[in-house]
Homo-oligomer: A and B are copies of this chain.
């Protein structure tokens, strides 16, 4: 029998893609009541006006993020831009559980934050208490957290592939090459010339090579796993599709290790985790096979170069890469089964 407790949530930053996908998922979550929706520029508008695809469900209108009342709210999902996120989150009463989908609490070191985001971190005490929300790797911490910093989409895909093998000492962490590919929704709903259909359609290009803000986030977690400071290659590309992310990791095996050991350790690590599946040898992950779902597919391949291997992951950047993982963390924080409200299968074709 399903748990019937009702938890009232707020979604702050509900006018972006991440907020919208959180609402899409929350709308059918059996324990969630959506109590408050907030945004900045779209304040005062109805959700069906801002996101017509959500027009078939009853939702409160968007209120201004500067004019929030937390009455009766149990948990807050935050999909605001970085900077704004920390300002708002600092004002939330401490008894509310917070799931931040922005970048503001992902980097544990405020100096690293300042270097990459160009402004000092203004909520350092909160930052020190935040838990990094990569569910499969910080499960226990998340269950007890007040504030969970949900990982970026690229770090989620990358770290699910690399953390177990780095921790197990199977790969040489000095030489991690991460070739990442994402659909356009990762660039957000803001108006930019390079995300227009006519510019991005039927085309493919790299961007932010060696300068993307997800690099320090990946390095932070790889470094923790390795027990030493690690610098990685991280090269993102923009692919002409709306959703989906595929990360191809090129690794040098530690002395005497072989590619099948990578698959074995990954398979063992994730066997009890419902949303990460390590594919059988020879199977290819594909973003179209996880579209709209919270699943992450991982596959391991031998390289032609002796002593090297390739680990490839696919996920939906807005679900497991953002709103879905936030909801998965919410389930853990609330003592609900981890998969509650996340059972949707992929939409294909």
- A-to-B contact residues, CB < 8 Å: 2, 17, 20, 24, 27-28, 51-57, 174-177, 179, 181, 183-185, 187, 189, 191-193, 195-207, 209-210, 215, 231-235, 237, 239-244, 246, 248, 250, 277, 283-293, 295, 301-306, 308, 310, 312, 314, 318, 343-349
Closest 8 CB pairs of A and B: A203-B288, A205-B286, A198-B349, A191-B191, A53-B348, A53-B346, A53-B289, A184-B197
> Are A53's CB and B291's CB within 8 A?
yes
- In angstroms, how far is the closest chain B Cβ from the Cβ of A285? 7
Identify A203's interface contact among B24, B244, B343, CB under 8 A: B244
CA distance A179 to B179 in the complex (A): 7
Given A20-B348, A240-B240, A347-B292, decide whether A52 and B231 contact each other with a Cβ distance below 8 A. no
A-B contact pairs, 23 of them (CB 8 A): A17-B198, A17-B349, A24-B346, A53-B347, A176-B305, A183-B202, A189-B198, A191-B192, A191-B193, A191-B196, A196-B196, A197-B197, A200-B288, A204-B288, A205-B286, A206-B248, A206-B312, A215-B304, A231-B304, A231-B305, A235-B301, A235-B310, A347-B347
Identify A348's interface contact among B51, B306, B308, B314, CB under 8 A: B51
> Are A246's CB and B237's CB within 8 A?
yes
A230 — nearest CB in chain B belongs to which residue? B305
Given A181-B181, A286-B205, decide whether A199 and B241 contact each other with a Cβ distance below 8 A. no
A292 — nearest CB in chain B belongs to which residue? B347
As for how many copies of this chain the complex holds, the number is: 4
Most interface-central of A187, A196, A200 (chain B CB within 10 A): A196
- A277: B residues at CB distance < 8 A: 55-56
- A284: B residues at CB distance < 8 A: 205-207, 209
- A233: B residues at CB distance < 8 A: 250, 303-305, 308, 310
- A345: B residues at CB distance < 8 A: 24, 27-28, 53-54, 56-57
Identify A201's interface contact among B51, B53, B181, B197, CB under 8 A: B197
- A305: B residues at CB distance < 8 A: 174-177, 231-233
CA distance A349 to B241 in the complex (A): 10
Given A243-B349, A284-B205, decide whether A237 and B191 contact each other with a Cβ distance below 8 A. no
A289 — nearest CB in chain B belongs to which residue? B53
Most interface-central of A232, A250, A314 (chain B CB within 10 A): A250
- In angstroms, how far is the closest chain B Cβ from the Cβ of A187? 8
CA distance A231 to B187 in the complex (A): 37
